[in-house]
Structure formats: structure tokens, C-alpha cells
Amino acid sequence: MKRYSKILVILLSVFAGFLSDNYSQTSSVEKNCFSSEEIAFDAASLPRNYKGNDLSLIITEIKRRESFTKTAFETNPQFRERIEREKSKSLIAELNYNSIFAFQIKDTNFQYNADKKAMKAELKLNSVFNWSPICQDKKGHSIVTPRQNLFAYLPIKNTLFTEPVDLSFKVEFEIEIEKAKKTKPILRTLLLTQLHAENGMHFSKGRYYTNSVLKISIQEIWIYDVVTGEIFVKKDSGDIAKLIKEKEDEHKEKRKRKVSKANSFYKNGQFKKAISELRKVLSSDPMNAEVYLLLGKIHFQRGEFEQTVSSLKTALFWDNNLIDAHIILGKIYLNKNNCGWAKTYLISALGIDNKNQEAIVLQKQVEKCNQ
């Protein structure tokens, strides 16, 4: 019995040693898999097996800071001071809120053209991109593979995309055939980003995602060999801005065509079809003043005066120079014998164009109001 007990103790010791070694090895890989240092824009190459920064760790740390609550033994000034003190600390090692973060992403298709000796990369960059770099231990077992949706606020000015925006970013670079054979499977895309703070907050509930999402702005896009760290392509903010401008113009043109189509329906008295087209525009451009103006005109023609006022006031909120909106509102308030508001909207209309015939007719009517 004692003999078996000794054998069992030895086996348990060996197994415990194996677990300890394996845990130590895995922890080391986890620690070294992602970088905790800030990337430099002028870097000539990257470290071997570079995976970028650990997004899940950054998210966890920011969530921790933004979940602070005031204790019963803290004054308001003490609580605010504690929050500021925590936010001034680095997020990971030397990385803080103002650092440049590097995230390796998956959504890139690489195709090689042997005749041209050129590698073509097509990066599908949405307003939401998938982050899931694979880190492996020495035995090839995958570890540290969090799956997160990272909401990327693309640097688009004066445009609000309420749905993911598909951007196809194409890049070509020369590479010899033999090198391309070895490199193609291990090419990766790296996004250099900055955290985007809005009203002091870095997290919010996404409209299309129930989990917390991190807002960022993309500064540069790199394509590199993940094993050797060789960088093949760097696309800076100018290239990205040009791509986004093209997509922005494309969206504007699509919206313009839909509004024009809705306007044709309106003129033909097909109000339901017009409203249907206008709702499609609002789903991707909820601040379109022209759409609200046309909705107001439709409601006015149908005698729906409350909806007319609501739509036209919204239109004027986004663009106060819509003379038709001022005139129609003036007419509505005149019919209600509300001379004060009728005069207010009349003055606004004449301020935009004092030769407008409808405004001149309205002026004569307003002058007779309360006489």
C-alpha cells in the first residue's frame, strides 16, 4: 500500500510540475503576444510576430475606470478628484488615452498577379471592423483570442452614418514571385488609431450592437509581414480621407436621387410613395433638412397641420434658410389667427428673399391680421 502511495505522490508531483511549466509558458506567451508599447508612425519595420495592442485589455481597463461610483465616505470634490487621478494613469504600461494604438484586423483579401509581380490587397473597412488576432503557443495552440466589435468612427465631417459604411480600400505593391509565395499567407493589416472621446466618455451603447463599443479614429493603415515585421505599405490619413470623401460623395448622390424621386411622387400627388422614399433617406441621413421640408409640404397638402409644423421646424433646425418652410409656417399660424408667429416667420422669409412672390402675398395677408 505504501509503495502505491509513493508512486501516486511521484505521479502527482510530475503532473503538477507539467501544469506549472505549461501555465508558465502560456502566461509568457500571453504576455508577449501583444505589444504594450506605443507604435511610431516613422517605424521602418515592426518587431517579429507583431500582433499590435491588446484591445480586450484596453476595453477592460477603460470599463473599470468608467464604472467608478461615489462611496458614502467621499465628498463630490473628492470623488471627481479620484476619477481624474485614475484617468491620468496609463491604460497599459506606457499607453494612455492620447497614445497611438495599433490593432491587427482580419478583413483583408490578398491576391497575387505573377505577370505584374504585384500583390493586390483589398481591405474591407466598415464603420465596424472585426478584431481577432490569433496568438499561438509553441505547440500551435491558439490562445488569447477575444472576439470584439470595435466601432470605428471614421473621420467624416458633417456626415452621420447610422449604419455600417462599406469602404473598399485597394492597394498594390511589387513583390517577387518566390517571396510572394512565402509572404502571402502571413500578410496582415494594421490600423493605427487614436481613442475618440465624446463628452468625456470613451464608451457608449452602439445602436446596432448591445455590447459596449470603443470609439476610435483611424490615422494610418499598414500592410506587413507578421512573421518578419517587414512593412510593405503605409497609407496615411490623406489617403484615408480621400477614400472617405469619395464614399461620402457617393452617399450624397444616392440621397439626392432618392429625394428627387420623392419630389416627383409629391408633385404627382403620390404622397405615400414620396414618404416611403423620404424615410429611406432619413434611415442613413437623419439630419437632412430637405427631406423634412418635403415631408412638411406633403403633410400640409394632406391637411395634417400638426405633423406639418413638426416636420418644418425640424427642417429649419438643420437649415434655417429654407424659405418655403418659413412661408408655410407663416400660413399655418395666420390661419390660426396667431398674428405674432405668422409675422415672425414672414420676417424670416423676407430676410432670405424679399422678392419672393409667395412671401409678398403672405406679407399682405399678415398686415390685415388683427385689423
Q: What is the CATH number of the domain that holds 252?
A: 1.25.40.10
Nearest partner of 278 among 253, 259, 304, judged by Cα: 259
Do 249 and 342 belong to one domain? Answer: yes
| 72 falls within a domain | yes
Q: Average pLDDT, stretch 149-157? A: 45
- Model confidence at 133, pLDDT cuts 50, 70, 90, reads low
Do 177 and 48 belong to one domain? Answer: yes
> What does the pLDDT look like over 48-93, one tens digit per residue?
989 888 877 777 777 777 677 888 999 999 988 888 887 778 888 8
Neighbours of 195 (CB within 10 A): 19
Do 98 and 211 belong to one domain? Answer: yes
Do 210 and 64 belong to one domain? Answer: yes
| 28 falls within a domain | no
Q: Give the pLDDT of residue 222.
A: 94
Q: Give the pLDDT of residue 199.
A: 42
Contact 357/369 with Cβ under 8 angstroms? no
Give one DSSP letter per residue of 88-149, joined into a string.
Answer: TS-SBTTB-TTSPEEEEE--EEEEEETTTTEEEEEEEE-SEEEE---EE-TT--EE----EE
Please report, in angstroms and rounded to a whole number, the separation of the first and last CA atoms in the chain.
117
Sign of the dihedral defined by the CA atoms of residues 274, 280, 286, 287, in that order: negative
Q: Give the pLDDT of residue 139.
A: 53
Q: Give the pLDDT of residue 32.
A: 54
Do 46 and 95 belong to one domain? Answer: yes
| 93 falls within a domain | yes
| 240 falls within a domain | no
Q: Is 35 helix (H, G, I), strand (E, B) or coil?
A: strand
Do 154 and 303 belong to one domain? Answer: no
Q: Give the pLDDT of residue 324.
A: 95
CB within 8 A of 180, min separation 6: which ones? 112, 114, 117, 119
SS3 content of the chain, % helix, strand, coil (to 5): 50, 20, 30
Do 276 and 215 belong to one domain? Answer: no
Number of domains in the chain: 2
| 20 falls within a domain | no
Among 54-63, 147-156, 271-280, 285-294, the least confident range: 147-156
Nearest partner of 102 among 52, 158, 48, judged by Cα: 52
What average pLDDT does the chain have?
77
| 11 falls within a domain | no
pLDDT at 290 over 70: yes
> Of 204, 235, 266, at which residue does a domain stop?
235
Do 96 and 129 belong to one domain? Answer: yes
> What does the pLDDT look like over 204-255, one tens digit per residue?
443 333 344 566 778 889 999 999 999 999 988 788 778 777 877 887 888 8
pLDDT at 358 over 50: yes
> Of 190, 208, 235, at which residue does a domain stop?
235
Do 156 and 190 belong to one domain? Answer: yes
Do 230 and 253 belong to one domain? Answer: no
DSSP secondary structure code for residue 210 in this structure: S
> Of 235, 260, 277, at which residue does a domain stop?
235
| 6 falls within a domain | no
Q: Average pLDDT, stretch 354-360? A: 93
Helices first, then strands: H and E counts in the chain: 11, 13
DSSP secondary structure code for residue 162 in this structure: S
Do 261 and 161 belong to one domain? Answer: no
Domain of 363 in residue numbering reads as 245-368
Do 200 and 307 belong to one domain? Answer: no
| 3 falls within a domain | no
